[in-house]
Structure 1
Amino acid sequence: MVTCLEPTEAISPSRSLQSLTKLATKFPRLIPPEELDQLDDEWRAILYSRDKLQSCVNKTPVEFWISVGKITDGFGELKFTVVSKLMKALLVLPHSSACVERVFSEVNLVKTPTTNGPTVANRLLARQHLRRNEKNCHTWTPSKELLNSVQSGQCHSRYTTRLCQKATENVVTFYDVLDGTN
């Protein structure tokens, strides 16, 4: 069903999905039921805008659907608000749970019957840091800043501050993709 995200598939007269209702109902929080008819109308109308979209067909799916969302009619009104909203939302969904499964496997490697949650989390962080820097526990030398953070008990709060900053950046990026500003 998600082949409809591909630009060439979206503007093809012989596309595999004639209606997006079935796909949209799998994600009821994205498109409310009262907008499903408009969604299908817009999906069919994309074929009539093929000339305008031909220049976008070689773009990435994200760029393509942002371009679709900016197309206006003769009155200057946006023509494809619902279909572009659905497609952009589908594009930001995770396509695999493999990375989560890898983390669970690592948890099983570092936990013992007596370790608690924060200890397991700290061990995972240490492993990730070493891996990112292509080191192992025998070849890594901690920086003076890290040693001072550990001695003062600030190591975990330093990490959570950085994590919150990254999470905020990701949320902003997610909403930028949805509204087409990025």
Structure 2
Amino acid sequence: MRPNLGEINPESQRHQLHDNALYLGVKVYELLKHPDVIIQPTDIAQFFSCCKNFYKVAAIEIKKRYNMEDPVLSKLQVFEPASALSYNFRSNFPTLMPLMEVVPRIIATADHAKKQIIDNQWRSLPNAQARHPKGLNEISEPDKFWAQLLKTEDFSELAHFALSTLSLPHANADCERVFSKINLIKTEIRNRLTVETVNGTLLAAESVKGSTRTGNCVNFEPTKEMYSRMTKDKIYGRKNDDSEDVPDIIFGEEM
């Protein structure tokens, strides 16, 4: 993380680690100490060469898909939970202005008042642990971390800015996947599905995928919060002029 990522050439030997400095996990470390493996230095060298080649190809493909010089992507480390709660991190990033300046569609350039509110909340976040939601220090995922803070009045503007910025796509792969899913959901036979229903179906699928190791609905268990939202008012919505209940699926809003 010390060099500028945009300047690193994965194919250059200058940035590659020596074999003894290459970390491949605990099991590999123990296996390389096994007597039957130690006596095969040629195979060990070939193994490390294959591992380096795998990393090299992976790095090259990542650089093809992401612009490491992107003015937003290069600043997103400020939203890592550990960074957001760190006193020491503030010595290098005392303000969010460098990031707010490059996202004018999220924060208007002339909206100095809102910028100041967000910056004040950012600067006070490490010092206001008494006002943090319970268990905030234990959350490592940025989206869940800021979603928790969004529920607080003291840091809601900062959390909304963080979540809006984190949701920006830095490649078109995710967008293309969503387009493909929509085509599978809204078919010629189901062509009258509303935008709200399609949106809710997509969000439900993402929720299931993110909540289970298998990535499907077989072992999915709804949370207590999800159950609490399954009320008559939320599922069926408002009544029409004839006072008859009209189904109004709003899973997209609720999920």
Please, what TM-score do these two structures have when normalized by structure 1? 0.52
Q: State how far apart, in whole Å, the 1-side matches of 2:105 and 2:93 are.
A: 21
Matches within 5 A, 1:44-55: 44-53=123-132, 55=135
Matches within 5 A, 1:29-178: 29-32=105-108, 33-34=111-112, 35-53=114-132, 55-59=135-139, 60-71=141-152, 78-99=153-174, 156-158=187-189, 160-161=191-192, 164=195, 165-167=197-199, 169-170=201-202
Check 1:100–1:91 CA distance in 2 against 1; reply closer, same or farther (3 A cut). Answer: closer
What letter matches 1:40 in structure 2?
A: D
The one of the two structures with greater contact order (alpha-carbon pairs below 8 A, sep at least 6) is 1
Q: Does 1:19 align with 2:95?
A: yes
Q: State how far apart, in whole Å, the 1-side matches of 2:95 and 2:81 are.
A: 16
> What fraction of aligned residue pairs are identical, expressed as a percent?
20
| Cα RMSD for the two superposed structures | 3.7
Name the structure where helix makes up a greater proportion of residues: 1
Deviation at 1:40, TM superposition (A): 0.9
Check 1:84–1:58 CA distance in 2 against 1; reply closer, same or farther (3 A cut). Answer: same
Q: Does 1:28 align with 2:60?
A: no
Check 1:161–1:58 CA distance in 2 against 1; reply closer, same or farther (3 A cut). Answer: farther
Q: State how far apart, in whole Å, the 2-side matches of 1:5 and 1:159 are.
A: 40
Q: Deviations over 1:26-81 (max 9, x none)?
A: 2222223231111111110102113554821332222211222333xxxxxx2113
Q: State how far apart, in whole Å, the 1-side matches of 2:164 and 2:171 are.
A: 16
Please, what TM-score do these two structures have when normalized by structure 2? 0.39
Check 1:102–1:51 CA distance in 2 against 1; reply closer, same or farther (3 A cut). Answer: closer
What letter matches 2:93 in structure 1?
A: L
Unaligned ranges ≥5, structure 1: 72-77, 104-120, 130-154, 177-181
Q: State how far apart, in whole Å, the 2-side matches of 1:80 and 1:170 are.
A: 29
What letter matches 1:61 in structure 2?
A: P
What letter matches 1:68 in structure 2?
A: L
